[in-house]
Amino acid sequence: MSVAAIADETAIHDCVRRFYDAARADDLLGPVFNGWIKDWDAHLTTMDNFWSGALLATERYKAAPFPPHLKLKMGQEHFDRWRELWVPAVEASLPEPIKSKAISISEHMAHCWGRAYLTMTSEMA
Ligand code: HEM
């Protein structure tokens, strides 16, 4: 791995932890994360892998990220809050060009995932 790639992976690692420190303390997202996630080391490693895949096109994350969310009880406000906490974590941790990429992906995630999630969970209700 190149020095630049190692720096990016380290920045992603920091960003993920910065985000989860804020999310676990958040009044809306905290109860969902803290209620479901039992093994935080494993979850943070999964998230490192997911974002490494999304931002650096590594293939460390091989699962489907959306289905595990279908069992949670969330509304659009959860996705909006997710983005409100994710963007400052990105701005504080990631260098360009992955900073801009992580912010633009998050727009897609919050809106498209939010809509898809709400449609699918209302059909299941
Ligand atoms: C919209 C942006 C989001 C992204 C990109 C995202 C990404 C992910 C990924 C990659 C996983 C791991 C899935 C796996 O096990 O392979 C995960 C799990 C999880 N996410 Fe999200 N997530 C998002 C929003 C949210 C929101 C808003 C919440 C609400 C608090 C949430 C709560 C969870 C929980 C509780 C898990 C663990 C589920 C389990 O393992 O049983 N996520 N997420």
Alpha-carbon separation of residue 45 from 20, 21, 73, 103, 125 (angstroms): 12, 15, 24, 20, 32
Residue 92 CA to ligand 1 center (angstroms) comes to 21
- Give the residue, out of 16, 69, 120, with the most ligand 1 atoms within 8 A of its beta carbon, to mutate for a pocket test: 69
Spatial separation of the C-alpha atoms in residues 19 and 53, rounded to whole Å: 17
Tell which wins on pLDDT, 57 or 123.
57
Predicted confidence band of residue 114 (pLDDT cuts 50, 70, 90): confident
**pLDDT exceeds 80 at position 125:** no
Q: Which superfamily does CATH assign the domain made up of 3-124 to?
A: Globins (1.10.490.10)
Q: What is the mean pLDDT of the segment spanning 99-115?
A: 94
pTM score of the predicted model = 0.94
Q: Are 55 and 8 in contact (CB under 8 A)?
A: yes
Q: Are 103 and 33 in contact (CB under 8 A)?
A: no
To which residue do tokens 């995630």 refer? 109
Residue 69 CA to ligand 1 center (angstroms) comes to 6
pLDDT in tens, 45-96: 999 999 999 999 999 999 999 999 999 999 999 999 999 999 999 999 999 9
